[in-house]
């Protein structure tokens, strides 16, 4: 059985965001090759529902600017079927806001 799916918006790759996430990975000692900065819109969608929803999102443009005052980092076990994402760390930017 295939695990549930998710729909997310990928953070636009720019020199600014690439540098920001590179520094973040260095600061947190994150050593993963496949690192996809994104905002989850819907998660844990049953495969049958995902197959119905995805055509409505697949080519839909999405553009939004926002100011983040914190960043939530989640983690999951790597080699476990049907593992859940768990809260790993919350970073608060205080007066140093990240604008995307």
Buried b (16+ CB within 10 A) or exposed e, 31-46: eeeeeebeeeeeeebe
Residue 100: half-sphere exposure toward Cβ, Cα within 13 Å: 21
pLDDT of residue 98: 53
Q: Is this prediction's pTM over 0.75?
A: no
The per-residue pLDDT string of the chain (100 residues; one tens digit each, 9 = 90 and over) reads 566 688 998 888 899 888 888 888 888 888 887 878 888 888 888 988 999 999 998 888 888 887 778 888 888 877 777 778 889 888 887 766 555 5
* Token pair in block for residue 85: 């994402």
pLDDT of residue 23: 85
């Amino acid at each position: 059985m295939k695990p549930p799916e998710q729909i997310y918006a990928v953070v636009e790759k720019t020199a600014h965001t690439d540098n920001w996430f590179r520094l973040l990975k260095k600061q947190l000692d994150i050593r993963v090759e496949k690192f996809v900065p994104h905002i989850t819109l819907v998660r844990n969608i049953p495969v049958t529902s995902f197959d119905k929803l995805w055509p409505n999102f697949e080519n839909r443009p999405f553009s939004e600017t926002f100011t983040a005052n914190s960043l939530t980092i989640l983690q999951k076990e790597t080699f476990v079927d049907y593992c859940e994402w768990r809260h790993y760390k919350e970073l608060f930017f205080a007066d140093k806001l990240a604008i995307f």
